[in-house]
Structure 1
């Protein structure tokens, strides 16, 4: 499996076990485990730059996804899934507001990024309901 975690922050987030979570998500979505996936952890300044450049929206966001090959659930070939970019400080703030752990929030956001790469979206209410339920279910099953 080729999941790479790239930490561009000054903090150590190795305790989050995000590689294991993403591998579980890929397996549950029946993605070839040899597909490449990168998860980059960035600070708020870098996330703000990416958010402006790619979404034309100000300020930092929690997670961005950059799919490469068009890979959907059930994909059996080897390919490049793409990049997930996560801002841990935004995740921490959101976790505090939601009343759950930072670890849970980072997991939800990482899974959210993976689902976007696999073609899921939440532009419409029904899509949002499906995607958010799936990401919660995957993280809950992984944490057991």
Structure 2
């Protein structure tokens, strides 16, 4: 079961809760976690808020498109609800980046969602080339 919480703290109403839920649900299935009772929060925030979060938790005084904050790890013997964490996405920043990189914004938002979820599950593209490739492979698998 998926306990999904969605909060939109922006004026941007381009993307619905259902858009993100479908992506998270597909990812959970593709990752073989559908038998787990997972709690995930996805929050759309403005540039000021994501910049504050980035500075406070990462020491980077600049906005970004996605941040993930894991709460707990998923293990094979989990029986109850496992709150795995919170994903924060900044639609304004994501739209600018998509335009600059000539990428479809819907595809970019889907990728940011999956990317954030994988970080919640412990994947880290910055730790090694091997881990980066593994994370990229999973992102492609989920999004195709």
Match of 2:139 in 1: 135
User: How big is the shift at 1:33?
Assistant: 5.1
Match of 2:97 in 1: 94
User: How big is the shift at 1:90?
Assistant: 1.3
Match of 2:46 in 1: 43
Match of 1:9 in 2: 10
Match of 1:121 in 2: 124
Greater Cα shift, 118-127 or 103-112: 118-127
Q: TM-score when scaled to structure 2? A: 0.88
Once residues 100 and 92 of structure 2 are traced to their aligned partners in structure 1, the CA distance between those partners, rounded to angstroms, is 13
For structure 2, the 5+ residue unaligned runs are none
Match of 2:31 in 1: 29
Match of 2:111 in 1: 108
2:69 is the alignment partner of 1:54: no
Once residues 18 and 90 of structure 2 are traced to their aligned partners in structure 1, the CA distance between those partners, rounded to angstroms, is 13
* RMSD, matched Cα: 1.8
How many pairs does the alignment contain? 139
